[in-house]
Every structure is written in C-alpha cells, then in structure tokens.
Amino acid sequence: MTQAASPAGLVVAITGAGQGIGRGLALAFAQNGTRAVVVSDINEAAAHTVAAEVRALGCAALALQADITHAEDCANLVVHTVQAFGRLDVMVCNAGIMQMRPLLELQGEDWDRMMAVNVKGTFQTLQAAARQMLAQPPLAPGRPRGKIIAIASIAGRSGAGPIAALIAPYRASKAAVISLTQSAAFTLAPQITVNAICPGLVETDMWKQMDREWSAMQGLAEGEVWKQRIAGVPMGRPQQPDDVANLALYLGSPASDYMTGQSINIDGGLMMN
C-alpha cells in the first residue's frame, strides 16, 4: 500500500467490532499504521478480546461497550475516543443485525428491531462522529476533518435473487444506509467525506447463522445453502473480512479524499455496475 493509500497515524473507531467484519476491520487498520483503534461492540467481552488483539499488533486500542440503538451510547463512544486519543479521524459504522424470515411471516417487531439497529443505529453513530469531526482541525491543510464509512450491503441494491424473499427488512435497512450515506455526504461536504461499502457473501458467523436457518427451511443439510450461494461468485471463492477491510483502508486514507457519497460494491463480481 502506498503512503497516499495508507491510514497511518489516524484514530479509528469501529462499531460492531467484536466479531466478523468489524473485527477484520480493526485488525487491518492496526496492521497498516493506524495510531489507535477504538473497538466498540454491544458485547463488552468481545470488544476487549479484539482490543487485545489490536494491541498485540503494536497499535493502541480502547474497548468500549456500546448499544448503537441508544444515542447516548453513540455520543459516549465519541467522547471516550477523544478523551483517550485527542480526536476522531475515521468512524466506521459497521454494527448491524440480520434475520431470516419469510415475508408473510414477518411481524412489526421484526421490522422495528432491524431498523433500530441497522438504520437508526448507523444514523446516530454517524451523527455523533460528524459533530466531533466538524469541531476538530483538518487531518492536514486542505484535507477533510474526518471520514465516515458505513457498512451497507449488496442486499440494499436491486435484485438479490431467492434470498430476497427471506430478508426483506434487512434489504430495506441496507438500502436506507445507502441513502443515508448520500444525504450525509452532501450535508457534510467538504469538511467530512461519507462513503459506504457494500459487501457480498462474507464468510462470518452471521452467514453461518443464515445458512443454518435457510438450509433448515429447505430441508437441506447445514452448509448446503452456503455452497449454492458461493458457487455463483465470479471470483470463485467466498468473501473474507480482509476483502472488506482493504476497501475500508482506502476510504480512510488520503487517496480517497475526493470521494464522497459513494456506495461501493465489493462482492467478487456478484453485482456488476
């Protein structure tokens, strides 16, 4: 990675960083010269575990418990970050949930929970980060004051195939994150850049859960749905958290300073624009 594409010296906070994509992001930033990584998660023990992994890589770390559905937790995440490290350069709004349920079996509570975490939680995290970034000096003369990265999904795009019948609230929530990214980017430019990453089939515990549930619905052995899904990936393998992290590193670096309001697919070619 060239210096222009490196997040060296930055203070990065990541929500939902106790596992999966979030953990991968935390470790990738730590390995690429980031000054400090703030690991937040609703599971405090998981946050501390990942923070220890970050420190083992020679990067400063802070572990925080945060429920992003509570605005005060999002605000406190930013406050503690600034108290510990002086500023917040990159906020990654990663925390999210998934549910598999046929459309006609969904309850209002299912919809409310999905929107509370994936949409409201992302908004409240973004808002708290933006307020701090607008109050701090630029990263360097002529550069933004901070960068915000939202984790959306190709599920928020059109299509999605058979799985669309089982994840309607999730798909709607990720479409909302893409829209929120655009609104925030327009509002906060040129002081703050706001972009979204749209992953595909990432091999994490979340997808293992989805495979179990979907396989059970179809009367298939565990793992069969996952095999069927990844068989259609043009790049010939499932996506790993590092694939997502590599794009996040770019979006957090000086190389992306002129990019804002974009939602970028990184899915092995499942969805081509």
121, 69 in Cβ contact below 8 A?
yes
- Which amino acid type is present at position 225? V
Where do we find the tokens 């990654």? 92
Question: Catalytic residue among 85, 123, 170, 207, which?
Answer: 170
12, 29 Cβ separation under 8 angstroms: yes
Contacts for 161 with CB less than 8 Å, ≥ 6 apart:
none
Compute the C-alpha angle 213/159/167, nearest 5°.
25
Distance, in Å, from the CA atom of 191 to the CA atom of 206, rounded to the nearest integer, reads 34
Residue 221 carries which DSSP code?
P
Q: Give 8-29 as a DSSP string.
A: TT-EEEETTTTSHHHHHHHHHH
Q: How many helices (H) and strands (E) does the chain have?
A: 9, 7
Which of 264, 123, 262 minimizes the C-alpha distance to 180?
123
- Identify whether 258 is a catalytic site residue: no
Separation CA 16–CA 49 (nearest Å): 13
Residues 71, 124: Cα–Cα separation, whole Å: 6
Residues 206, 177: Cα–Cα separation, whole Å: 19
Catalytic residues: 170
